[in-house]
Amino acid sequence: MGKMLMHERRNAILEYLDKDQRIVVSDLSQRLNVSEATLRNDLNNMEKEGLLKRTHGGAVLVDQEPEDNKFFNFSTREKKNKEEKYLISTKAQKLITNNQCILLDASSTALELAKRLKDDSDRKRLTIVTNGIYTALELRDVAEFTVILIGGVIRAGSSALESTIDAGVLKKINVDIMFTSASGFDFENGLTDFNVYEVELKKEMVKASNRVVALLDHTKFGKKSIVSFAAIDQIDTLIIDNQISEEDKRLLKERDINVL
């Protein structure tokens, strides 16, 4: 195995944690062919970011809501914070007009938006691009929708097609609005996530879109994860529940981000 980059190590660590619930540094060192000192440094930093909890000789998953950890099964995450997702997706739906091309990421919030579009009594004609498997399946039988599923690699327990294998198709499509969720948002890093492989695809999605709309609940606000996929100046609109401070709203306005 060649030398792993920090982001690759962290992604591997989280995947092992999701599978085994706990990891031991000495065992992980052999699996990844990385020194124990490097791994201890990784684990310490990941604990500071709230991604795991250090134990003697290793680490365990943090005791957090499944929606905050993308390595929980998608069906579990989909059931969390249903009311917030419904309200956020309903607000997002109002930004969409007839004959637009929109892009939906593979998040459970974007899937909720897909359901709103499908159930709309005044259904619009849309081209919908997504890397979300469940999103594409949800919309597959709607005559008014042209659904484009971006190909890639599927990981166990995931709802997303990952990697940039098929990202070239984005250069051939004029995307009006991208709707995306994230593991975190902060003013320094913008929108962040910790699935390195999906993040690389989401970066290409952002580049291909005329507008980027972030769909977040307040628990993601002020948090950061491993990798940024949308810088602060690439975000046009933030749809969030009403639990952020007036100061944060002011800072967002200063950065020309519309808050709904």
Residue 44 shares a structural domain with residue 84: no
Residue 183 shares a structural domain with residue 110: yes
Q: Domain containing 44 — which CATH number?
A: 1.10.10.10
Q: Domain containing 246 — which CATH number?
A: 3.40.50.1360
Residue 113 shares a structural domain with residue 13: no
pTM of the model: 0.72
Instruction: pLDDT tens for the chain, 260 residues: list them.
Output: 457 788 778 878 887 887 777 899 999 999 999 999 999 999 998 887 767 889 989 998 765 433 344 444 444 454 455 678 889 999 999 999 999 999 999 998 999 999 999 999 899 999 999 999 999 999 999 999 999 998 777 766 667 777 667 778 888 899 999 999 998 999 999 999 877 778 888 999 999 999 999 999 888 888 888 789 999 999 999 999 877 888 999 999 999 999 99
What whole-number distance in Å separates Cα of residue 37 and Cα of residue 42? 9
Q: Is 110 in contact with 179 (CB distance < 8 Å)?
A: yes
**Which residue range forms the structural domain that includes residue 16?**
6-63
Residue showing tokens 């709802």:
159
Structural domains in the chain (count): 2
Residue 92 shares a structural domain with residue 47: no
Residue 52 shares a structural domain with residue 78: no
- What value does the CA radius of gyration of the chain take, rounded to a whole number of Å? 19
What whole-number distance in Å separates Cα of residue 150 and Cα of residue 142? 18
Residue 92 shares a structural domain with residue 113: yes
- Return the number of other C-beta atoms located less than 10 Å from residue 131's C-beta: 28
Residue 147 shares a structural domain with residue 248: yes
Non-local CB neighbours of 38 within 8 Å, separated by 6+ positions: 9
User: Which of 20, 38, 63 represents a domain boundary (last residue)?
Assistant: 63
Residue 49 shares a structural domain with residue 81: no
